[in-house]
Structure 1
Amino acid sequence: MTTAPYVVLDTDFRIRGVNAAYLHATGREREELLGAYMFDAFPDDPRDADATGVRNLTASLERVLRRGAPDDMGIQRYDIPDIRVAGAFQRRAWSPVNSPLTDADGHVVGALHHVEDVTAVHEALYRAHRDDRTDTARPPAVVLRRAMLALTRYERAARAVAAGRANPGGPSPSAVLPVAEVARSDGLWHAVLHAARHTRPRDCAGAVCEAAVRELSAADAAVITLHGEGPENFQLAVSSSWGRRAEELQYITGEGPSLTAFDTGERVLVPDLDHGAARWPLFAEATAGIAVGAVFAYPLRTATATLGTLTLYRRRGATAPAGPPADAQAFAEITTAVLLADMDGEIIEEIRATADRDDLNTAIGIVAATQHISPSEAVTWLQTMARAQNLPLADLARAILSQYPQDPGPHR
């Protein structure tokens, strides 16, 4: 039995199945959800004029039914009704993935809605901005402290739940972290907090990169990159221009450990890049000129999504252990927590912008091919049509894509 929240929907978006984890996450009863229309059960808060939960989830589910391929929504704000107070809503943030359900003939007959509740860490940043908006000197430290506390509470609760399942009715030592592990985890967080005091305001990701290089003796540079569904990427933070150049070479050549880590969701450890030349020949050749000796790439994963990568670079000839830096995985987990905490700010805007660019580039190709015009003329055509229909350019691009089922295969 899975502990992740799941809902089974038919093609009319009516709830046909729901597991206990979803009922727990939403505070609802099975009887009141089965057979209900998804957006009657979970409407937008009518008092929130900026609510986009229903619109975004509807669009994602429609893509799944139309294309027959999973759709990863990233991080979404979607408040839910508070069953304890009539008319009230609870502030929630989720990481949803929707997948098609098919019959024996391969026809799409519904969708599986899988969500992870990431409200605890998301709320940390919300409170920091609301309570400390007049303090411009130390926002990163405030945000990071609260993210650390929220993540610690979440992990403690998760371990307690797991321990209860393993040993019903009794205590379990697995619910408690070893003292040494707690101390080391706290030490890494405090290293990030220390770095935050010396970076520009609100640059939490930059503090993580700086602390990673300072704490991990086998790393000469650290880069945090957010990834889109296509070749677009956004370097959120770098510890040095050398590390930035090394990361950029992966996107110039279209191959490398960071791309592989994001695509597979698994860490990619390359202690000797010369030995990895056969796997990424173009990248290895390009980085030879800037003396990259080793690369260690870690996917920044939640239970339902991969947000990007934390990549550590080591210079050629550097004196260091043969393997990856100790505590590198712990830094990747810290990075994920920081990204989730900051998703309500500029980071989510960057992710949305990347998705918009992906859709727009595809639409340009479709228009150019179907209208028998050049890509530059296709851009002008799209801009003209968007103005005529009073639509944002990205919305027009998605409307065009909806007429052409996309290839659900690998995007690289």
Structure 2
Amino acid sequence: MTAGSERDLTPVERQAWQLLRTMPVGFIAWDADWRCNGVNPAGERSCGRSREELLGRSLWEIFPAVVGTEFETVYRRVARLRKPENIEIYYPEPLCRWLDIHVIGDIEGTGGVVAYFLDVTERHEILERERSITRSLLHASAERDVAARQAATLAEVSLALTSVDTVEALEAVVVGQGLATLGADGGAVVSPDETGNWRITLNAALGERARLTYSAVPYDSPLPSCWTARTGRRVLLPTVASGHAFDPIMADVYADTARLGWAVLPLTVQGEVLGSLAAAWVDEHEPSASELDLLDGFAAQCAQALHRIRATQQERQTAREVRELAEALQLALLTPP
């Protein structure tokens, strides 16, 4: 039943219209020419239009945003087939609401349609919040899984570090396994050589050109890894711009290594800086807080291993010197007077 005017309504029709006016469900009726010929107060509120703005005007004129959408498809299909349909859909500006609409053919047989609709925006907002929480939980779970696998692999690398007994072996473990486990695309270990300058062990991913260029550099080299090894301060160069700002030498580093993101951490034990650990990425890369935690932890393990190796080497050197002295004394005692 449509209700554009209450004049000439029978008592039954007037009672029905009174029910439509008081019910919380929105109601709008459209005639065969798609002009509005009935609307209740709930319909006015849901549409954001007054009764005066709606009556006598075309659906497509009042709500141009429905043209070409599922709204129009359903409305026209119900008008043609006279079979009711239900649709739940988001109406964009100016309404910006989710509506649950039940569309039926006009029972007076004029060829129009009648729509009853509820504003279900709040339900969709709650549902979207629940979905967002679910997505966050799934993402966090995935991150935990990745972190767990990464931690397990790092544990294997850490175990390998406990068994190395030379600087060369330590460097092989770090650049060969550790950096990849940390998610880096390459990197290097810097430590002092016998002359007081720096030896740099780069992993194979950085290429032969880089290895030949940077394997041995002066103590005062402006390379970020050497600067960190001298100062004990971490250097983060996530972008090419930050690298150029640090020192012009980074232009050559980018060209020689094909790595645009760098993070350099000191290898420090009990306040003594033993060298540095450099991690690199193919693209510009801003390490996350969790990545930096892993890098710091791995650098601390490397520093402890390097400290142990040096202490062991010093003990062996001292023992060798004592043994050589003892042998010299024995030979002296056996020499004829």
**So what's the TM-score if we normalise by structure 2?**
0.39
Larger radius of gyration: 2
Higher RCO (C-alpha 8 Å, min separation 6): 1
